[in-house]
Amino acid sequence: MKIALLAIVLLLSSAVPALAQKPRERAEAQVKFGINVAQYNLWREAIARFERAADIDPTYAAAYNNLAIAYEQQGELGKARDAYEKSLKLDPDNQYIKQNYELFREINDRANRQNRR
């Protein structure tokens, strides 16, 4: 019985720091992991991480920016556009997001022109 109680106490004590973290910190941890895996070309895992980050902290512009890039890499241009737009709405003056979005739009416009012809 004592051992069981001790195990529960230990389990709770290990979970408390994670629960105590603020949403932004938890989201940042997901983004950091996502960036790492993206650098190894593991884009599906990166998408899962960036999505998780955006769920945890829906005001985190970087998460949406990264998600947009990952969608772009996967050829999901509609989802990429939505994510870029959310990202820019949250951080409209960010030069990196603006540049990413401009480059994305060139490709997106080209794909749309191609489909219209």
Partner 1 sequence: MTARTGRTVVSVLAVAVTAACAHYYEIPIETPIKPKLDVSAFQRVLVAGFITGGTDDVDGNVETTRLLRSQLRSKSDLRVIDADTLPLMEVVSSDRAKANTGAGAAPAPLPPIKEEKDLEPYEPLFANVAYWKQIGEEYQQPLIVTGTVMFTSQERSTSQLRAQETRDQFGRRQTETTRVYVERKAFILRPKWIFIDGRDGTVIHSETFREEVSYGANQQTPALSSYFELMDRLIPTFLSTLSSQKVKGTRFLLQ
Note the residues at the interface with partner 1 (CB under 8 A).
28, 31-32, 35, 38-39, 61-62, 65-66, 69, 72-75, 77, 94, 96-97, 99-100, 103-104, 107, 110-111, 114-115, 117
Quick one: 12 or 103, whose CB is closer to partner 1?
Answer: 103
| CA–CA separation, 110 and 62 (whole Å) | 26
Quick one: 16 or 112, whose CB is closer to partner 1?
Answer: 112
Question: Which two structure tokens, joined as six digits, stand for 5?
Answer: 């109680």
- Least Å from the CB of residue 56 to partner 1: 15
Quick one: 46 or 55, whose CB is closer to partner 1?
Answer: 46
Q: Is-contact 27 60, C-beta < 8 A?
A: yes
Quick one: 11 or 58, whose CB is closer to partner 1?
Answer: 58
- Least Å from the CB of residue 24 to partner 1: 12
Residue 83 vs residues 71, 72, 113: alpha-carbon distances, Å: 9, 10, 21
How are the residues of the chain apportioned to helix, strand and coil, as percentages rounded to the nearest 5?
A: 85, 0, 15
Letter for the amino acid at 68?
Answer: A
